[in-house]
Amino acid sequence: MGIYTSGKIFGVKIYTFDDDDISYTLFERKYDVIMNNEEMKEAYLFYTELPDKNNVCFKIYTEFSSTYSKENKNYMDWHRISENIFYEKFSLLQTPLPNEVKENTTFSIYQKF
């Protein structure tokens, strides 16, 4: 039993926190359909052009399902992802991966909470 994400990306949010733990959205796009390569490239290029990448966080807008409800309906929500997963999903293999991410590293698309 649990809450699961499908891994389909319908949006992305890039944000940061200040010293008082207040979040500031730097980039946000949310769509009614799965993001295409051009939309993902736009987010990736925005991130690569940031002068200061410290304290930058990522969320994707994705589809969830839950086994806790008898109705088992899907719903949409924001899900935080790591910088490595952002690179994997949004770089579209057009640029080399950063040094911290090895080329044969695999990440799970489905995540249980």
Q: What is 3-90's CATH number, 3.30.70, 3.30.1430, 1.10.150, 3.40.91?
A: 3.30.1430
pTM value? 0.73
Please give the Cα distance from 73 to 4 (Å, whole number): 12
Lowest mean pLDDT: which of 40-44, 50-54, 80-84?
A: 50-54
Domain regions of the chain by residue span: 3-90
- Residue 107 pLDDT more than 70? no
Please give the Cα distance from 24 to 5 (Å, whole number): 25
Structure tokens at 100: 């911290």
pLDDT digits (tens, 9 = 90+) for 55-95: 899 999 999 887 776 676 788 899 999 999 999 888 865 54
